[in-house]
């Protein structure tokens, strides 16, 4: 076995151009399989995370929100925005039959000015009624969210003194949240009193966010949990019928657009992976046939000097294995360098939630890519092996003459 391995390596070194071409082709196959699978898994993780973080059956926003930036653009893409309606909507929503819980949220876009440390989306919530943000916060932080405290998303840089200022309101960073792969990672979260103070300061600084609604009565959205036994669509319709100047949307409908986009992207990536695999295997088979024709005399001489047919087949198989492993390592390494450092850029370019798979999933995908490369290489090596085993040594010498 050691002799065969040494001879295989020697044969590959003797033809560096041929070996490099086969390694490059296998690397291309592994790059597509590993990189494409990472992208698909990252997108699926992002969608699952976004769905769980939204945490409501129905979302109510003012009709004017359609012209000022929708809720999904704020939460999904992380685009700072704001829209407001009177807080009396919250009481009206709670009166709708089938509503188990209703919690307000407040959206405030910080300014790119000296009054704010960083331009981000600020989301306010009521700790007494909230059921969508606090469960997520509790995964990383179990303390109280006092006045002046903020919780920041995973993409927010935390300064050494853990203080960020928004509209001249100094806030202490109590915790940083786990990544979701969506715009939620670029947001800052505060309780009702803290964001009311920011709103008041913003008005004093001349920001006209609250021309239509006084800041002490403004809310941006209402998150709703529907009672068991009630149809979510029916409750949604009741809200739209009985409460004026608002738009109630089933949260699943918001996600369905993302899911459709994810499905299309995943399908395209899947088709590309399949096409590249078929193309690579086809080219490898053609290359294997051409290489065999070049090596006929070499194989015949090896038979003459006493190498058995079985060992000769093992020699070809080992050469293929070495090429496959080398190509897989190169392709996976290149894909890792292309995908891992640019998760945020990928999310922005695809306009979809993107959350990198965990180490176990990455390892499974890596093993699958290596296995596919090895199987493809062994398939093509069978061409040479079948010709070696099907012909007598004399015929091989004559064909190689």
Neighbours of 278 (CB within 10 A): 10
Neighbours of 138 (CB within 10 A): 11
Mean of the per-residue pLDDT values for the chain? 80
| 125 bridge partner residues | 105, 191
Query: What letter would DSSP give residue 326?
Result: H
> What pLDDT shows up at residue 400?
47
| 218 bridge partner residues | 86
String of DSSP letters for 307-346: --HHHHHHHHHHHHHHHHHHHHHHHHHHHHHHHGGGHHHH
CB-CB contact of 126 with 151 (8 Å): no
Could you read off the pLDDT of 54-103 as tens digits, one per residue? 678 899 989 877 654 466 666 666 677 788 889 999 999 999 999 999 99
- Helix then strand count (H, E) for the chain reads 13, 11
| pLDDT interval class at 8 (50, 70, 90) | low
d(C-alpha 335, C-alpha 350), whole Å: 18
The H or E element containing residue 348 is helix 343-350
Query: How far from chain centre, in Å, is Cα 14?
Result: 43
CB-CB contact of 189 with 151 (8 Å): yes
> What pLDDT shows up at residue 251?
79
Top pLDDT among 238 and 358 is at 238
Could you read off the pLDDT of 189-222 as tens digits, one per residue? 999 899 888 888 888 888 876 666 677 788 989 9
Give the torsion sign (CA, 151, 157, 163, 166). negative
CB-neighbour burial class of residue 136 (10 A; exposed 0-12, middle 13-18, buried 19+): buried
CB-CB contact of 350 with 43 (8 Å): yes
Q: Which residue has the tokens 């997520």?
A: 136
Judge whether residue 384 has pLDDT over 70. no
> What pLDDT shows up at residue 311?
74
> What pLDDT shows up at residue 282?
78
Reference 317, options 396, 369, 391, 384; nearest CA is 384
| pLDDT interval class at 47 (50, 70, 90) | confident
pTM confidence score: 0.66
Top pLDDT among 72 and 144 is at 144
Could you read off the pLDDT of 320-366 as tens digits, one per residue? 888 889 999 999 999 999 888 877 677 667 666 777 888 899 999 99
Query: What letter would DSSP give residue 222?
Result: E
Top pLDDT among 301 and 271 is at 271
> Strand, coil or helix: what is 69?
coil
d(C-alpha 318, C-alpha 320), whole Å: 5
| pLDDT interval class at 139 (50, 70, 90) | confident
Q: Is 232 left (phi over 0), alpha (psi -120 to 50) or beta?
A: alpha
> What pLDDT shows up at residue 378?
82
CB-CB contact of 195 with 215 (8 Å): no
What integer is the mean pLDDT of 104-128? 86
String of DSSP letters for 236-301: HHHHHHHSTTEEEEEHHHHHHHHHHHHHHHHHHHHHHHHHHHHHHHHHHHHHHHHHHHHHHHHHHH
β 218-219/246-250 pair status: unpaired
What integer is the mean pLDDT of 133-155? 88
Residue 386 tokens read as: 């079948």
> What pLDDT shows up at residue 241?
93
> What pLDDT shows up at residue 68?
47
Q: Report the interhelical angle of 16-54 vs 343-350 (nearest 10°).
A: 70
> What pLDDT shows up at residue 324?
86
| pLDDT interval class at 373 (50, 70, 90) | confident
């Amino acid at each position: 076995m050691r002799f065969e391995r040494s001879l295989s390596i020697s044969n590959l070194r003797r033809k560096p151009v041929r070996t490099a071409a086969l390694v490059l082709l296998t690397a291309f196959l592994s790059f597509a399989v590993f990189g494409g699978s990472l992208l698909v898994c990252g997108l699926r993780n992002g969608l699952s995370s976004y769905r769980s973080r939204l945490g409501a059956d129905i979302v109510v926003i003012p009709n004017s929100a359609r012209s000022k930036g929708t809720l999904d653009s704020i939460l999904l893409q992380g685009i700072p925005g704001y829209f407001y309606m009177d807080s009396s909507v919250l009481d009206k929503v709670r009166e709708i039959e089938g509503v188990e819980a209703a919690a307000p949220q407040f959206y405030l876009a910080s300014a790119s000015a000296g009054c704010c440390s960083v331009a981000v989306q600020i989301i306010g919530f009521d700790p007494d009624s909230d059921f969508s943000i606090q469960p997520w916060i509790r995964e990383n932080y179990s303390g109280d969210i006092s006045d002046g405290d903020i919780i920041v998303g995973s993409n927010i840089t935390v300064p050494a003194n853990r203080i960020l200022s928004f509209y001249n309101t100094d806030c202490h960073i109590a915790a940083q949240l786990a990544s979701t792969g969506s715009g939620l990672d670029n947001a800052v979260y505060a309780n009702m009193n803290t964001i009311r103070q920011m709103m008041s300061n913003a008005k004093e600084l001349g920001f006209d966010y609250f021309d239509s609604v006084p800041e002490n009565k403004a809310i941006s959205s209402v998150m709703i949990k529907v009672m068991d036994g009630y149809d979510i669509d029916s409750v949604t319709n009741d809200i739209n019928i009985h409460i004026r100047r608002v738009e109630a949307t089933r949260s699943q409908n918001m996600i369905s657009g993302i899911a459709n986009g994810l499905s299309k992207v995943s399908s395209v990536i899947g088709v590309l992976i399949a096409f590249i695999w078929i193309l690579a295997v086809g080219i490898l088979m053609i290359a294997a046939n051409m290489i065999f024709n070049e090596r006929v005399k070499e194989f015949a001489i090896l038979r003459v000097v006493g190498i058995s047919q079985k060992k000769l087949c093992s020699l070809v198989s080992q050469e293929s294995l070495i090429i496959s492993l080398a190509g897989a390592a190169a392709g996976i390494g290149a894909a890792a360098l292309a995908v891992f450092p640019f998760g945020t850029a990928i999310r922005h370019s695809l306009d979809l939630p993107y959350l990198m798979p965990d180490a176990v999933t990455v390892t499974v995908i890596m093993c699958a890519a290596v296995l596919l490369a090895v199987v493809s290489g062994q398939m093509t090596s069978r061409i040479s092996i079948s010709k070696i085993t099907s012909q007598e040594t004399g015929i091989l010498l004559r064909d190689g003459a």
